[in-house]
Structure 1
């Protein structure tokens, strides 16, 4: 079964639809994996004609962060490691894929890859820590509508 993942919130840097600086990441879930597409534009440029490494890392943070969201687990990034294999050329259609490797209590270990066709451009792994929704409520900002059905109790 496949279903689209809505933007984390409209102003999300990675996938927000109302943020003019958004990466424009579009994601869906298929077979327990988060799949996404990205096309880097000139405002993501690092080296001439190439995506900035920080832009690539931001995409990974967002797609890996969609894994806990897909599991209805509010979580925050504790660590993110990116290994660059080949340059991401501006304007190319790229695919990202992420999945949960394992869970140990509140710790979620995730992995992702970025490809252009069959060419591996980068891979990443991240550790997310499950938090309660109060963590996000402390900002004073409204929570995304998609989170309204999540349980609001701390998780171990």
Structure 2
């Protein structure tokens, strides 16, 4: 019988947050390995039942207060900072590839590798994953350009299927603004062949007014 772990006393300060982020990152890595093994395995039903029991016991160890739907995790910096549980960039998410995004001279570049858990057609990424990757990357491009916004339109063109277990290269760039609207383009290629577009996108993002921001994100602390 497993005894649930108890939460340690809350610590304050940047050092404790970094310690927590490191632990979240480690757990996220192991969860992604578990997900990958789960979607690949040809284990017997008995083995699967035994593993399910073990996973249930592990889940029971994650005790303590659970954050509310609108609550921003203390390990996140929103907007514009790390999002530890994002299904795209979150190091702590079992769903994320995760994408590593860095600014460039005219936008942002992202790198990731999709696994079997992201499969659509056998051997290739699900088309919805492409949309999610580009939506995230293009949003980052808006933020880097100093015009953060939310997606109002995203049009994708699928040129070729995205191979799984292949390093990918994603680009996002702001091409223009119109009052609160921000126009952005995005592409997905492989790292090996960046000249061949697999998916391209055109998007429109809009910067919500402060009142709308407060309504959408009640957990966001006001600037001081």
Please tell me the TM-score bracket, short chain as reference.
0.7 to 0.9
Q: What is the aligned length?
A: 141
* Counterpart in the other structure of 1:70: 144
Give the whole-Å Cα distance in 2 for the aligned partners of 1:86 and 1:99: 21
Shift of 1:99: 0.5
Segments of structure 1 that go 5 or more residues without pairing to the other structure are: 1-5
Correspondence 1:83-122 to 2 at 5 A: 83-116=157-190, 117=193, 118-122=195-199
Contact kept, 8 Å, 2:147 with 2:182, in 1: the verdict is: no
2:218 alignment partner in structure 1: 140
8 A contact 2:214–2:220 mirrored in 1: yes
Q: State the match for 1:123 in structure 2.
A: 200
Unmatched runs of 5 consecutive residues or more in structure 2: 1-79
Q: 1:112 to 1:83 in 2, by over 3 A?
A: same
- Give the CA deviation at 1:127: 0.3
The one of the two structures with greater contact order (alpha-carbon pairs below 8 A, sep at least 6) is 1
Q: Give the Cα–Cα distance (whole angstroms) in 2 for the partners of residues 99 and 18 of structure 1.
A: 27
Runs of 4+ in 1 over 2 A off after TM superposition: 71-74, 132-143
Which has more helix, going by share of residues?
A: 2
How far has the Cα of 1:133 moved from its partner?
5.1
How far apart are residue 24 of structure 1 and its match?
0.7
- Whether the 8 Å CA contact 2:182–2:204 is kept in 1: the answer is yes
**2:198 match: secondary structure:** strand
Structure that is richer in strand per residue: 1
Counterpart CA distance in 2 for 1:27 and 1:16 is 11
Is the 8 Å Cα contact of residues 107 and 144 (structure 2) preserved in structure 1? no
Query: 1 CA distance for matches of 2:168 and 2:132?
Result: 14
What CA distance in whole angstroms lies between the structure 2 residues aligned with 1:44 and 1:55? Answer: 7
Tell me by how many angstroms 1:9 deviates.
1.8
**1:33 and 2:33 equivalent?**
no
- Considering only CA atoms, is the larger Rg found in Structure 1 or Structure 2? 2
Q: CA RMSD in A?
A: 2.2
